[in-house]
Amino acid sequence: MSKGVVWKANLTALLLSASVISAEADGVKIGYIDPLSGPFGSTGDAGLKHFRYAANEINAAGGMGGMQVEVIGFDNKLNPKESLVQLQKAIDQGVRFVVQGNGSSAANALTDAIAKHNKRNPGEEVLFLNYAAVDPALTNKKCNYWHFRFDAHVDMKMAGLTDWLQNQKDIKTAYILAQDYSFGRAFTDAAKSMITEKRPDMKIVGAELHPIGRVKDFTPYVQKMMSAKADVVLTGNWGTDMTLLVKAANASGHQVPYLTFYGGGLGAPTAMGQSAVGLVKQITEFHENIEASDEQMARVDDFEEVNNLDYYYERVFTLMNMLDKAIDGVGSVDVPKIAATLEGMTYETPYGEVTMRADDHQLIQPLYISTFSEGVERDVENTGFGFETDIAIPAAATELPTTCKMRRPS
């Protein structure tokens, strides 16, 4: 053996042992796989800031099971294929907990890949904690033991919105606009079937899917809604697609209620302004004007001061604290045990008790329908406007049956 080969072999051994040590020793690594560049980059960045803030809070209180938490960002460019590349990168860096939310198409790819990885690598399981991908299939047809969802899915939110519609007898026509991918299609299907069921007298005058992140001017779409004489618009748009839609609706003076999932999302309130007051509604687990303890309000204020960003994802804190609770209980990063602990876990959030339903790993939490209003106590994005609760839906009322047949590892 020549000298060079020995040297190289030693170096490889050294590097290998170093990577093994780093994977074992530095506590809980959470891989955040979401868009961190491109049209949806700012949305992904906002989510990452919530996770980092929650991690700092937990670390200050002693970490998860005594271990420090680190959140590492991976840019998937909102692309399912790129998500898998980033997943592999994350696993190689010792990440055992993957969090993702933007884009159900990416979530669908991740849940499959993680199930496969866990089957092939017993002892190195990875947990998928989903904070925002709301395609119902993820906890129904495609449910998977290693996936836990902390956001209410499309059908649950749509049930809330259509319940509201049921009492608005002067609304006679509806227009549905969503992004053209798994989530948008699920949104459109849910809207169509629930409106037909709850308001058989109502007419759906248009249902449109537009390419995600590619439309820069929504004016033609808004004008189409206006000429279709829609009394209400239901939209699942988020990120820039939401911002640009309200911008165009604003410019064209489209004065009808907009029922949204993400009307309060980053950037949208700034684009809405005065003309959206009383019209844009959202269904969420959080907005700033829900009654809560002083402690929670102090956290919201501190978050906004530190990050110069609106507090938006309460569910990120729910996710991190439930994971904290599970790891504290288990005492180590034993992923199968942690998953078993999370199943059926209840947790007291500042806005009420939530349960991780064991049947399908869907979090059951209280939801709120709120309207963009003037003269509220706490505003959003320094606009002077904020959201005000119309209806608070208790957790139990949001529950829907699941078709999931969970296969648990033996």
Partner 1 sequence: METVVFALLNGLIYGLLLFMLSSGLTLIFSMMGVLNFAHASFYMLGAYFAFTLGQHTGFWFALFLAPICVGAAGACVERWGLRKVHARGHVAELLFTFGLAYVIEELVKIIWGKFAVAYEIPPELNFSLFKLFGSQYPAYRIFMLVVSIAMLAGLWYLLKRTRIGLIIQASLTHPNMVAHLGHNVPRIFMLVFAAGCALAGLAGVIGGNYLVTEPSMAFSIGPIVFVVVVVGGMGSLEGAFIASLLIGFLQTFAISIDSSFAEIFSFAGLSADGDVGRITIASLAPMLPFILLVLMLMLRPRGLMGEREF
Chain residues binding partner 1 by CB under 8 A are: 36-39, 41-42, 45, 180, 206, 208-211, 214-217, 219-224, 226-227, 240, 244, 251-254
Q: How far is the CB of 15 from partner 1 (least distance, A)?
A: 30
By beta-carbon proximity to partner 1, the closer residue of 123 and 253 is 253
By beta-carbon proximity to partner 1, the closer residue of 45 and 314 is 45
Q: How far is the CB of 381 from partner 1 (least distance, A)?
A: 11
Please list, in sequence order, all residues whose beta carbon lies within 8 angstroms of the beta carbon of residue 348, skipping any fewer than 6 positions away.
Answer: none
Judge residue 65's burial from the number of C-beta atoms within 10 Å of its C-beta, 0-12 exposed, 13-18 middle, 19 or more buried. buried
Q: How far is the CB of 385 from partner 1 (least distance, A)?
A: 17
Q: How far is the CB of 213 from partner 1 (least distance, A)?
A: 9
By beta-carbon proximity to partner 1, the closer residue of 51 and 175 is 175
Q: Are 75 and 160 in contact (CB under 8 A)?
A: no
By beta-carbon proximity to partner 1, the closer residue of 240 and 318 is 240
Neighbours of 219 (CB within 10 A): 16
User: Which amino acid does the sequence have at 280?
Assistant: V
Q: How far is the CB of 38 from partner 1 (least distance, A)?
A: 5
Please give the Cα distance from 187 to 167 (Å, whole number).
21
By beta-carbon proximity to partner 1, the closer residue of 249 and 376 is 249
By beta-carbon proximity to partner 1, the closer residue of 206 and 366 is 206
Q: How far is the CB of 205 from partner 1 (least distance, A)?
A: 10
Give which of 296, 348, 297, 294 is closest to 322, Cα–Cα. 348
Phi, psi of 295 (to 5 degrees): -60, -45
Q: How far is the CB of 101 from partner 1 (least distance, A)?
A: 17
Token pair in block for residue 251: 């410019």
Beta bridge partners of 31: 72, 98
Token pair in block for residue 242: 């939401």
Please give the Cα distance from 347 to 356 (Å, whole number).
9
Q: Are 288 and 386 in contact (CB under 8 A)?
A: yes
- Distance set, CA 111 to CA 196, 306, 350 (Å): 32, 33, 29
369 by DSSP, 3-state: which?
strand
User: Which amino acid does the sequence have at 242?
Assistant: M
Please give the Cα distance from 66 to 318 (Å, whole number).
19
By beta-carbon proximity to partner 1, the closer residue of 217 and 291 is 217
Q: How far is the CB of 83 from partner 1 (least distance, A)?
A: 18
By beta-carbon proximity to partner 1, the closer residue of 115 and 186 is 186
